Structure 1
Amino acid sequence: MSAPTGPRFSYGTNGLADHRLGDALRLLADLGYEGVALTLDHQHLDPYAPGLAARVDEVRRALDATGLAVVVETGARYLLDPRRKHRPTLLSAEPEGRELRLDLLRRAVGIGAELGAGAVHFWSGTPDPDTTREQAWQRLVDGCAETVGHAEAAGIDLAFEPEPGMLVADLAGYRRLLADLGRPDRFRLTLDIGHCRCLEPYPVADCVALAADRLAHVQIEDMRRGTHEHLPFGEGEIDFPPVLGALADAGYRGLVSVELPRHSHAGAETARHSIAFLREAAARHASRDTRPQQEPLKEAVPA
């Protein structure tokens, strides 16, 4: 079988939080997606609920049945602390908090290996108020080094994401972290296309070229300069055909995952609109067509 030559579009389950996981996988396959970005959360493959091994096996069988590739994501908002969003982190002042995050990452690596995932995705988090940047950075390096060890043992790539507002916010921060870790091969990158528009000093397509040597996963959505808000395609400022062209030119063959975590209330329609938009953008790049793309998504389902 020949290797894929174009983008492999995927969709994040954090944008289908109102769907059962099995229903979400079937929906994505029926729409023509080739993969899923699976966020481990209370409603979708909770890594702390009883019977994990059996549930992972069930998801593996569902992935096989639908033909979907998978990356595993660890960005659930309240999985570790019901009161504090995205806490604790690898930067947390309390050692027990950092251990909770490390435990989640260990579980994610194990689940990812069982599912045959292309990568396990994570990010740095933000420092606690009384933590210096130097302290936070050392905690991050230590936590990433430990997680790299688990990934190497499991034979799976990590896909670290720079996230606006976090300790590692941009590609330069990722490069510094990679260097401080000794450039382990398994410590790779999630490039979020919207984040490139939000804060990187380069055009979005140039960010793809700058990141190409480390890419393990790509997230994609629309966004505006200076505002970290994930928008449906057509509602932001990104010109997508050149971006998809840059991914093709870079030889990237991993998943390109739509990330719209605030649109679960209209998840099915948003997923349908997203793949139609991305296919049109890819076709426009192939034909070098510069006509405007379709209108922004008009949500038919109230939040």
Structure 2
Amino acid sequence: MRFGYGTNGLTDLRLDDALGLLADLGYEGVGLTLDHMHLDPLAPGLADRTRHVARSLDRRGLTATVETGARYVLDPRRKHGPSLLDPDPDRRAQRVRLLIRAVQVAADLNAHAVHCFSGITPAHTSDDTAWQRLADALGPVLDAAATAGVPLAVEPEPGHLLSSLADFHRLRTELGAPDPGLLGLTLDIGHCQCLEPLPPADCVRAAAPWLHHVQIEDMRRGVHEHLPFGDGEIDFPPVLEALAATGYRGLTVVELPRHSHAGPQLATESIAFLREAVAPGRRNGVLASAEGGTP
């Protein structure tokens, strides 16, 4: 397993300090959120700043997935606004441009994927209209991703138009079933516990052909609140065994964006928890077999 930690849970640290901390703790990568705290996608000199981050990652032996879930990166007054579903085509285009920029950053970082989400359906907007807007908006992003050789990993997000694994497959249909190597999933294990009909380990198996990025944290059924490990209801060893058995090679990133005030402590506790949760699978030979070793 390749564990990472989301930089949106380390916003009280400078990015270089955050990367140093994670490398020292034994993480293998980061979920790098593009935002003003760490790598601002809208400030001047993005290419030079991205090269600095690439060198910092390489020096520490870390890899990355680029995440685009910053709350106010485009609109200082509206959380996650504008979205790909905004009624105003010019505002939708702002989000499209951000995602295309994220694709270029990901290519420059040799990142695993670019994460994104649909957004909440605006008031007085039919489902059919919302799905059409989403498909139309993602078209140029997928073109950029194909050119850059970086897959797009869409996250089902509670409360959004695309909130479930079933919704992801509707998007694939709307887009004409793109290659899974180009359009895939960010699977958030907590979200599976929150709202999917299947248990999280079964969600992993169902999502396996499309997995490009995994986020992980604890959560309770029906409550969308990212919790430190042990504070929710998830049984993690079966989830990690399922991930290993699929042959997933990307990052499994701890996602605690509301706990930055305790980021170093939680990063330390999280890697210890995950290593312990992996241990039963290693004893059973599941992970060794999935990694090409001898059970």
TM range (shorter): over 0.9
1:250 aligns with 2:262: no
Residue number in structure 1 paired with 2:101: 107
1:65 match: secondary structure:
helix
1:119 and 2:119 equivalent? no
Counterpart check, 1:142 vs 2:142? no
Superposition pairs of residues 217-236 of structure 1, within 5 angstroms = 217-236=213-232
Q: CA deviation at 1:204?
A: 1.0
CA shift for structure 1 position 130: 2.2
Q: What letter matches 1:40 in structure 2?
A: L
- Written as runs of structure 1 = structure 2, the 5 A alignment for 1:1-303 is 7-185=1-179, 186-287=182-283
Q: Which amino acid aligns with 1:208?
A: V
Question: TM-score normalized by structure 2?
Answer: 0.94
Instruction: Name the CA distance, whole Å, in 2 between partners of 1:217 and 1:52.
Output: 24
Normalised by the length of structure 1, the TM-score is 0.92
Which amino acid is the alignment partner of residue 51 of structure 2? Answer: D
Q: Give CA-to-partner distance per residue, 1:140-169, whole Å, 9 cap, x none.
A: 011112211110011111110000000000
Structure 1 unaligned blocks of 5 or more: 1-6, 289-303
Shift in Å at residue 184 of structure 1? 1.4
Q: For residues 217-248 of structure 1, what are the alpha-carbon distances to aligned partners after superposition, in whole Å with 9 as ceiling and x for unaligned?
A: 00000000000000000000000000000001
The CA deviation at 1:287 is 2.8
**AA matched with 1:58:** H
**What's the CA shift for 1:190?**
0.6
User: 1: distance between equivalents of 2:14 and 2:115?
Assistant: 22
Measured in 2, the distance between the counterparts of 1:139 and 1:239 equals 37
CA distance in 2, matches of 1:180, 1:78: 28
Query: What secondary structure sits across from 1:245 in the alignment?
Result: helix
Structure 2 letter corresponding to 1:115:
L
Deviation >4 Å, runs of 4+: none
Q: Deviations over 1:233-280 (max 9, x none)?
A: 000000000000000111111100000000000000000000000000
Q: Whole-Å Cα distance in 2 between the matches of residues 108 and 270 of structure 1?
A: 27
* d(CA) in 2 for partners of 1:99, 1:168: 19
C-alpha distance in structure 2 between counterparts of 1:284 and 1:236, whole Å: 20
Q: CA deviation at 1:134?
A: 1.4
Identity of aligned residues (%): 63
Q: Which letter maps to 1:165?
A: G
Structure 2, unaligned runs of 5 or more: 285-295
Structure 2 Cα separation of the partners of residues 30 and 183 of structure 1: 41
SS at structure 2 position matched to 1:141? helix
Q: Could you tell which deviates more after superposition, 175-184 or 53-62?
A: 175-184
The number of equivalent residue pairs is: 282
